[in-house]
Amino acid sequence: MKHWQTVLKKSITEPEHLFAHFGISPEDAERVTNIYPMRINPYYLSLIKHPGDALWRQAVPDALELDDTVCMKDPLNEENLSPVPNLVHKYPDRALFLVHNQCAVYCRFCTRKRKIGTKEMHISIKTINSGLNYLRQTTAIKDVLVSGGDPLLLDDNRLDYILSSLRAIKHVEIIRIGSRVPCTLPMRVTKKLAATIKRYHPVYINTHFNHPDEITPEAATACSRLADAGIPLGSQTVLLKGINDETEIIKQLMYKLLRIRVKPYYLFQTDMTQGTNHFRTPIEKGIEIMQSLIGHISGMAVPTFAVDAPGGGGKIPLLPNYVEQLGSQLVFQNYCGLICTYDNPCD
Ligand SMILES: *Cc1c(COP(=O)(O)O)cnc(C)c1O
Ligand code: SF4
């Protein structure tokens, strides 16, 4: 067994073990884990400083998950947008291909909470092959997002099979991998893994960091291995109440991401996923945070704040309002409130 597999195997999955570790009663957590699984691997566990902190909240089951009467099982309507199981085709030119049902940590706020880590999500070589067939037949698809669950928890051979099959499809120009492993299980990013992915360029990886405390020397090593293999790295951060919904935290996180060669890509408004209502912030909070980033910090560190429209409408960017139109004149406010104008050309 490889080192990362041993680490994963030692994960806490039963409430009594977790609470043995932190000295709290397991009853509530058990009600939750009967429905939504828990997995906290020893690496991520070691980053939790005390119960209730930002990493704890991301990973430890909370009874509030069961009290959600507002949100939906499948808010992005993914199941209805799947021509074959575990392949979501929403935008004409790109597809989301789910190739694994497990993750290194089960994030409590996960959009696919309805199925990740449960029997509801059935993935086999058969479903992977039917996804590949759909991709081969659908020539409009130029960009495939390999996701899950976490595709980088597959063993190297299975991953190699998926990537080489995708690369053999002529119309698939871009391959993207969505993985939280650089953050939650960085030892998975072996030299061999980086070398495997490198064979199928252009491959992009979007990872997922939510808090500056997740940016450790181990995460930095994982990211530089990938970046050194020529893989551009992005982060899809989720704005989460009680975890990172403060300007200073997001600012620090974005800078720290750039330092480990990860370009902030999206900052997501939390989806309306059943069991995650307690993590949602008002949209205005995200816009306020964006206003304090744009122009105030390196443009390289500024993500796009977006809401993924409930019902499957896709991602919609949200910006502070900087512009007002007065006839042919546009009146702008710059990042520190200064008013400027720009005259549109006359016909
Ligand atoms: C997010 C997403 C994509 C990719 O969107 P980008 O804005 O190109 O990153 C593609 N398909 C589905 C179903 C998605 O949810
Ligand atoms: S790593 Fe991603 S897919 Fe897995 S539980 Fe976390 S948010 Fe969900």
* Nearest in space to 267 (alpha carbons), one of 312, 211, 323, 217: 211
Residue 1 placed within a domain:
no
**Percent of the chain beyond pLDDT 90?**
93
Domain assignment of residue 338, yes or no: no
How remote is the CA of residue 268 from the centroid of ligand 2, in Å?
14
Q: Please tell me the distance between residue 105's alpha carbon and the centre of ligand 2 in angstroms.
A: 7
**For the chain, what is the domain count?**
1
Find the mean pLDDT for residues 153-170. 98
- Pocket lining: 116 vs ligand 2, CB cutoff 6 Å: yes
- Regarding pTM above 0.85, the answer is yes
Residue 47 lies in a domain: no
- Is residue 252 included in any domain, yes or no? yes
Among residues of the chain, what percentage have pLDDT more than 70? 99
Q: What are the contacts of 117-122 at 24+ separation with CB within 8 A?
A: 117/36, 117/37, 117/39, 117/149, 118/36, 118/37, 121/86, 121/149, 122/85
pLDDT tens-digit map of 286-300: 999 999 999 999 999
User: Does the beta carbon of 94 sit less than 6 angstroms from any atom of ligand 1?
Assistant: yes
In a domain, 305, yes or no: yes
On whether residue 4 sits in a domain, the answer given is no
Residue range of the domain that includes 179: 70-317
Beta bridge partners of 341: 331
Q: What is the pLDDT of residue 24?
A: 64
91 ligand 1 Cβ < 6 A: yes
Decide if 2 is inside a domain. no
Q: Is the CB of 112 under 6 A from ligand 2?
A: yes
153 lies in a domain?
Answer: yes
User: pLDDT digits over 301-310, tens only?
Assistant: 999 999 999 9
Whole-number mean pLDDT of the chain?
96
Q: Look up the CATH number of the domain holding residue 107.
A: 3.20.20.70
As a whole number, mean pLDDT of residues 83-111 equals 98
Distance from Cα 169 to the centre of ligand 1, integer Å: 20
